[in-house]
Chains A and B, each alone.
Chain A
Amino acid sequence: MKLTKHIALHYIGMTSIVLIISVPVFYFILQRIMWNNIDEDLQSQRQWIESQLQKTSPDNFVSFNNNILIRHGQFSENERLFNEKLYVSYDNEIVPYRIIEFNTTANGEKYAVRIQKSLLESEDILRAIVTMQLSVLLILLALLVLINRNLNHNVWTPFYKTLDKLKKYRIDHDEFIDLPDVPINELNDLNKSLNDLTNHNREIFIAQKEFTENASHELQTPLAIIQSNLDLLWQTSPLSKEQAYLIQNLTETNARISNLNKSLLLLAKIDNKQFADVKPIDIKQLTDKIISRYYENFIQSNITLSQNTSLSATVFADETLMEILISNLISNTLRYTPVNGTVDINTTKDSFKIGNTAKNNQPLDSKKLFRRFQKQEENSKNGIGVGLEICRRICIQYGYDIQYNFSEEKHWFEVRF
């Protein structure tokens, strides 16, 4: 639910409750006040009648006012104030009356007096007042909705803009989030804080990236020195079997470090968008070229290659990157296919799919798969664990979708262009 809607609903809810409670309360209070007025009126009339009765006969009252009834005798109660609905014959309707009945004594004679007063007018006034109050409240409610909608447009728009920018912001893509100044203090503060936060994070991110890059660069020369020493060590004579074994171990290890280092540099370069030579590339042709490079490897492990590449995608991308993408997927597959296994390569108009026989018929952990230094199998001593990460980054750069799934006892990697 949108914040504005949330607030509006609260407002309307509260207002409705106030309205529902206040209108009857208001009505009853007003009614009370009116009755009090009428009661006072009746009381003063009573005093007037009592004083008149001392001087004159009660017959003089009733002849002209049908609202005063005086008879000889006594009511059971000395004084009683009450409402009663009476039928008025000339209007042909029932009208509410406020009535006072009391006993009085004048010149030794006992009288029972009843004064009645129509409530019709006061009821009308009351109704009018309550109706007016209700209308005012309803108008206020309508205004509230309007104001809210207006606020939504004026006040909340910058907020939603900020939110939208924040959603789209990627620390590895965007330079700055660059939120504008807005006239509302709180939103302005929010924007400023977000600007500061993202800029600061971006600086840290860049520093970290540069560190990896620089560290990798700085490692190249020492690695070259080790390598050259090893190469010279190979040439020493006599060379015993034991020495040859040790030197080969060192050479292999050095090659692994160099390879890891190269991969880290490659990742940095992909991140820095240093591959920008975009041209059309036929995926099938590229695949064939790379497969021919690994031809001996297929033969060595007696791996059957089953290709279904009658259709092919043409993508606009950097050739080096596409070559790395496809070749990483193929070499990865070769690395994990058991001897006598099968590798499937399928290309369609918009995808490249590669599958290989699974060593232990278990799906891989697809969450960890594309992350750095997550090796797929415990016993893989030679993989360095960045190949798929590189693939993922390349796919991100071009907006391709790369997926892993496990079916028919095979690991499948699919790139959708």
Chain B
Amino acid sequence: MKILIVEDEEELSKNIATYLKQENYICDLAYDYKSALDKIYEFDYDCILLDITLPDGNGLNILKDLKDNKKADGVIIVSAKDALDDKLKGLKLGADDYISKPFHLSELSARISALIRRRQFDGKNIIVINEITINTDSRIVSINGKKLDMTKMQYDLLLYFIVNKNRVLSKTAIIEHLSGDHAEYLDNYDVVYAHIKNLKKRIAEAGGNDYIKSIYGMGYKFEVE
């Protein structure tokens, strides 16, 4: 999977690349508008992370260019502006998703993974981790072939863990992921604990292994060989 990161902040770009490379993505970096355009015409990407505010141009124009040239690359807009206008304009111009700064790398990774899954039309929307199978189309989780009943929260949480497998996810990243756009109620980390406890219980009841490890109660990790 090839990803282009269009972002003028070098440190942020490199951090994103570092995180994504561990997920076996190949990352190209473009620090400005011009080099972004060059790279887009030269290669095809599975996903482009597009910062709107670039020193020498508006990222939205790159998006327009892509669509005008019928390039099929998936686009996630990254904006510091968090402006509704930009979001709406971006999505109207054909962006696939929108994420506003600051974000957790695990969240970005989940978005990229979701985007790539959506764009695979060959029925590959099935994630298999040992005995756990997730069909991301029908949102059905089964363990050893047996369907598992889950709440929406539990499903979201499991998927979040699996696309970020072997990564430490902080309590903060988890609660922000679960509350989506409405992360104003961040205090109650007990809720995270309760969700994870329920999820683990559900998996254990269905005969699954205990993959979710607590990292000193500060974060969690879905550990799989």
Contacts and interface: CB of A to CB of B under 8 A. Distances in A.
Contact of A300 (B102, B173, B179, B194): B194
Nearest to B180: A293
B80 A220 contact: yes
Interface in B162-177: 167-173, 176
A244 B215 contact: yes
Interface string B1-41: 00000000101100110110010000000000000000000
B140 interface: no
Contacts of B195: 296
A235 interface: yes
A38 B183 CA distance: 108
A259 interface: yes
Contacts of B153: 296
Given A235-B167, A293-B182, A254 B216 contact: no
Size category, A interface: 35 or more
Size category, B interface: 35 or more
Contacts of B85: 274
A323 B181 CA distance: 11
Nearest to A229: B15
B191 A259 contact: no
A248 B219 contact: yes
Nearest to B185: A331
B105 A231 contact: yes
Interface in A202-252: 217-218, 220-221, 223-232, 234-235, 239, 241, 244-245, 247-248, 251-252
A259 B183 contact: yes
B224 interface: no
A244 B219 contact: yes
A394 to B, nearest CB: 14
Interface string A274-299: 11000000000000000001101101
Given A232-B15, A296-B191, A300-B194, A224 B103 contact: yes
Contacts, number: 131
A244 B170 CA distance: 9
Contact of B219 (A218, A224, A234, A269): A234
Given A234-B219, A244-B216, A248-B172, A221 B12 contact: yes
A251 B172 contact: yes
Nearest to A265: B82
A80 interface: no
Contact of A224 (B12, B18, B83): B12
A77 B80 CA distance: 118
Contact of A220 (B100, B194, B216): B100
A400 B34 CA distance: 49
Contact of A221 (B18, B101, B171): B101
Nearest to A390: B184
Contacts of B173: 231, 251
